[in-house]
Structure 1
Amino acid sequence: MKISEDDVYFSTQPMYHVGGSVATTLMALGASPTMIVPERYSPEAVFRLIPKYGCTARTGQAAMYAMELAHPDYRPEIFSTLTKAWSGGTPELRRTISREMGVPVMTTIYGLTETAGTTTINSLDDPEDVWVYSCGKVIPGVEVAVAADGRVTTAPDVAGEIVIRGWSVMLGYFANQAATEEAIDADGWFHTGDIGRLDSDGNLYFVDRIKDMIKPGGENVSAAEVERVIQGFPGVAEVAVVGKPDERLGQVPVAFVQMAGAPFDASAIIAHCASLMASFKVPREVIEVTSWPMTESGKILKRELAGRFGSGTGRLVGQGG
């Protein structure tokens, strides 16, 4: 992003998140811009602080930009000092941010907490069709490839699981050697659980997710974690959690529940989850079912459950957040 000590960098990335702890703190330490961080995120704080400090650069989750654009107090001139910014989200959202807020190029990244947050990133020199649709090129000293048909390749236009190798990859999951060995193969490739492809210039394009994860506003929510909490509610016989398209957050968790010997109470199940989990993990809806779509081996077909909500993933924010 060509950040320097002359920049005033505005960040709404939460500090508990790799986006805040790395992209905010290390950006300030490494490139020496003035860093402006609101104590808590709100569109009103953004509208007040960016013009107050003349911020020239910005980072934030896709859902934040979407909230600001939809806010009744939004005005393009609030963002007139911005010259560069980062966001996830759909190509439509990044293009809208650029045109509405007047930012010439919206950089984006691909990465995971396990890879220190950033594996690929767009350049300010990228043409629009690259920064809108791709996640950019791999950072120095790191390799990115796709695993397909039993081999790892960097050949263009081959879709497969995105794999990463290099200095930024974690040593392993704390006190969980089995999970570490499942994620990092013998050749040192970290398997992301995401599907992607590379183009002839080395730009990475995100295609889909393999792992059973839901992405409300760019956060990772494990469906299995939510299911374990709901299974602790009295009378729940079976539960399946899927992602439902949401205009503001891209996806939100929704739970399908089958009861046994107890009355169904959606609000009580939601309250139970809220008492035990972070708010972004709590299901927005709980739907009672009496039978499940199943495979021949007896596994619940979550794809069919999610299909009841339509094929979209949130028009603007998308799964990437």
Structure 2
Amino acid sequence: MNATLPDSFDIAAFVAATLAEDLGTIGDITSVAVIPADARFTGVMDSRDPIVVAGLALAEAFFRTLDSDVRIERLVQDGDSVAADTDLLRLEGAGRALLTAERSALNTVQHLSGIATMTRQYVDAMAGTGAILLDTRKTIPGLRVLEKYATRVGGAQNHRMGLWDAAMIKDNHVAVAGGVSEAVRRAKAAGIAHIIVEVDRIDQIEPALAAGATHLLLDNMPPPTLRSAVALVAGRVPTEASGGVNLETIRAIAETGVTYVSVGRLTQSAPAADIGLDFTTA
């Protein structure tokens, strides 16, 4: 696994905004009322289920933001597949600070590890086919960079990060532009190098290629149709299968010879991993 958060992602700003949402203008009234100011706790973050770990650096950032002197020992790394009851982090620091940061840190690691875990399941299900798993733009607003980081941790490749890095001409674009050829012509005239065209019928392939498509998205085609589409394209451009993909169908889809299989549910539907933070006084 070779996945890192981009340098442009501002961890400090993300942590500050998340904590501000939780603390409001008053703060953690429970910890202030219940925990003595000088109380110290040791604790362990652990996974209750087998998971692929993602987001530990962010968890650490939450704790360090509220207690700059906290001692943290990272016991595993992002991308590790761990068994149930595996300890992920060990930490020791100011009791109030650690309890205040707990939920924000857990929410982040649970969400990202859930995505990484589901992604790894899909990667394993299509192993050996030669096809590459892609994520999509079906992400929670504001969390795209983190969620797409988690899919990379799980073994997928990022598709478009946004609307800016490739043209994707879909049925509504074609309808408004007046046809596939006209839509692609306008994209080329705008100087766009990477032009993805969505097709859902075999007879749309040649017009799309003739117009200058550099990537075909084969939408909601069953495996026999995908095989025919791949044979017709004959390697002229990359092909991507999309739609109706789940763990039961992905291998048959990947075995059709497509270059990529894209799966929106990696970021849209992954359940949160069951991860806890248990504090002790020893």
Establish whether TM, by shorter chain, passes 0.5.
no
Q: Scaled by the length of structure 2, what TM-score is found?
A: 0.26
User: Per chain length, whose mean CA-contact separation is higher, i.e. which structure has more relative contact order (CA < 8 Å, sep 6+)?
Assistant: 2
Q: Scaled by the length of structure 1, what TM-score is found?
A: 0.23
Q: Which has a greater percent of helix?
A: 2
Q: Which has more radius of gyration?
A: 2
